[in-house]
Amino acid sequence: MLNSLSKFEGSEVASERLRIIKFYVEYGEAATKEAFGADRKVISRWKRRLQDNRGELSSLIPQSMRPHRTRRSEIPVDIVEYIR
């Protein structure tokens, strides 16, 4: 985990998520929800992701939710321009 920390110490989001996880473990769900507004399900997802990646802080960096493939219009551009 120390190697991971030195590699991604600039990631404020990942550091904040790790801080929230540690707070959750120490103080529980109610205090964490009040202090950070983070839901139990979200924290559990972060904990699982951290555990699955052997404690690497980089696993807490937000991932893109954009689809890998997006549909493209099959309508020719000149027809779209005509309609406009």
Residue 63 main-chain phi, psi, to 5 deg: -95, 150
Element (H, E) at 17: helix 12-27
pLDDT at 65: 85
Tell me the C-alpha distance between 8 and 52, whole Å.
Answer: 18
CA distance 14 to 6: 12
- For 12-45, the pLDDT digits (tens) are 889 999 999 999 999 999 999 999 999 999 999 9
pTM beyond 0.75, yes or no: no
Q: Is 26 helix (H, G, I), strand (E, B) or coil?
A: helix
Report which of residues 84 and 21 the model is more confident about: 21
Query: pLDDT grade, residue 48 (50/70/90)?
Result: very high
Residue 25: the pLDDT is: 94
Cα separation, 84 vs 80, in Å, equals 6
